[in-house]
Amino acid sequence: MPVIKVGVLGARGRVGVEVCKAVQAADDMELVAQVDKDDPIEEIGKAEVVVDFTHPDVVMDNLRWCVEHGVHAVVGTTGFDEARLDTVRGWLDAHPGVNVLIAPNFGIGAVLMMQFARQAARFFDSVEIVELHHPNKADAPSGTARRTAELVAEARAAAGAPPMPDATTSALDGARGADVNGVRVHAVRLAGLIAHQQVLLGGGGETLTIRHDTMDRSAFTPGVLLGVRRIRDVPGLTVGLEHLLDL
């Protein structure tokens, strides 16, 4: 069976290094390009599938280059809101046959945590999210926390759940976190951490906490390799690794 030619954008970054190692160790893949900041992006054109773990400020330019040059993309970089996703859909409409997977988190446990939060959201009065990351992280709140909040909000809306109780009338700016579709999201940046999230649900004399911890960045690579293996067969834009898992 022919191997998949893979390129990595952000190859010298914290996650990019792990992805390069995992691709090199995979029998069915060949690492044909490793591109980082200030390297010529043209190098990435050797690849059939590109993996992007760069920065929210540059990922759109990278992705447009890939789509316009007929290269499938598996994207872990964060910073995608609905407007950005619509822009990507527009590029893909103009380049049928090119596919893109964007996933806020490639960790299998993290994907399950998001799905469990979505399932549980309608059964509780209150849901809040606390995400905790290393202090070198570029964005806040995390892409995973934003996506979790969207899933929680969608599930509650579909179930006709009322707004969450909150009688706060006076607070310092930021004390109640960010409001993401009506769900409060709190971001902690702490030396020693990698990536962690708790979804707190409460009501009716009980609470439920759903917690996920990333202990090592190699946790992201099985999901990335799954995306690389499957992306050629999933037309257009796919958002979220859950669509490639038999959940």
Ligand X SMILES: NC(=O)C1=CN([C@@H]2O[C@H](COP(=O)(O)OP(=O)(O)OC[C@H]3O[C@@H](n4cnc5c(N)ncnc54)[C@H](OP(=O)(O)O)[C@@H]3O)[C@@H](O)[C@H]2O)C=CC1
Which residues contribute to the annotated binding site for (S)-2,3,4,5-tetrahydrodipicolinate? 134, 143-144
Of residues 133, 186, 196, 212, which has the active-site annotation? 133
- The footprint of ligand LZUJQKHR on this chain (CB under 6 A) covers a number of residues equal to 9
| CA 108 – CA 106 distance, rounded (Å) | 6
| CA 9 – CA 104 distance, rounded (Å) | 16
Q: Report the nearest approach of ligand LZUJQKHR to the CB of residue 88 (Å).
A: 18
Return the structure tokens found at 21. 């190692």
Q: Calculate the CA 210 to chain-centre distance.
A: 18
* Position 47 contacts ligand X (CB under 6 A): no
Segment interacting with ligand X, rule: CB under 6 A, options 21-29, 32-40, 63-71, 164-172: 32-40
* Position 37 contacts ligand X (CB under 6 A): yes
Indicate which single residue of 62, 99, 105, 221 sits in contact with ligand LZUJQKHR (rule: CB under 6 A).
Answer: 105
Indicate which single residue of 50, 103, 183, 225 sits in contact with ligand X (rule: CB under 6 A).
Answer: 103
| CA 14 – CA 47 distance, rounded (Å) | 21
137 given a catalytic annotation: yes
First to last CA, the chain: 28
**What three-state secondary structure class fits 232?**
helix
Q: Report the nearest approach of ligand LZUJQKHR to the CB of residue 221 (Å).
A: 13
Whether the CB-CB separation of 66 and 73 falls below 8 Å is answered with: yes
CA-closest candidate to residue 74, choices 195, 237, 242, 247: 237
CA-closest candidate to residue 65, choices 17, 106, 100: 100
**Which residues 108-137 are close enough to bind ligand X by CB under 6 A?**
none
* Position 137 contacts ligand LZUJQKHR (CB under 6 A): yes
Give the interface with ligand LZUJQKHR as residue ranges (CB under 6 A): 78, 104-105, 133, 137, 142-144, 195
Catalytic residue ranges: 133, 137
